[in-house]
Amino acid sequence: MFDPPIRKSADKKVLIKSADKKYASKTLKHKEGIINLAKEKGEIKSADLLDMLDVGETWARTLLRELVADGTLVSEGGNRNKVYKLS
């Protein structure tokens, strides 16, 4: 019986890198969309992103949290009334 060769970890690293590039590209595209939306409207809520950018609620919150951490956006208000503005 002949067993096929096992793929080495180097193959997995290539797959991870290509997935990382796809993730980074998608993230950048969505962040640019958020920034443009904030410029147009003055302030945005996470619910605005669900319709405008066609993203899920968890992904929208993740992107907003990253933009706040970067210093691009500033969050104001509590949980239900939170709005984001350009800094």
- Write out pLDDT tens, residues 35-77: 999 999 999 998 888 888 888 899 999 999 999 999 999 999 9
Instruction: Give pLDDT, residue 68.
Output: 95
- Of 26, 17, 20, 83, nearest in space to 59 by CA: 26
pTM of the model: 0.73
Q: By C-alpha distance, which of 75, 87, 76, 85 is closest to 42?
A: 85
Question: Angle, nearest 10°, between helix axes 9-41 and 57-70?
Answer: 80
pLDDT band for 25, please (50, 70, 90 cuts): confident
Task: Look at residue 13 and tell me whether its pLDDT is greater than 70.
Answer: no
Query: Is 1 a residue whose pLDDT tops 70?
Result: no
Residue 51's pLDDT is 83
Assigned architecture for domain 13-86: Orthogonal Bundle (1.10)
Q: Please report the pLDDT score of residue 73 as a whole number.
A: 95
What are the residue ranges spanned by the domains of the chain?
13-86
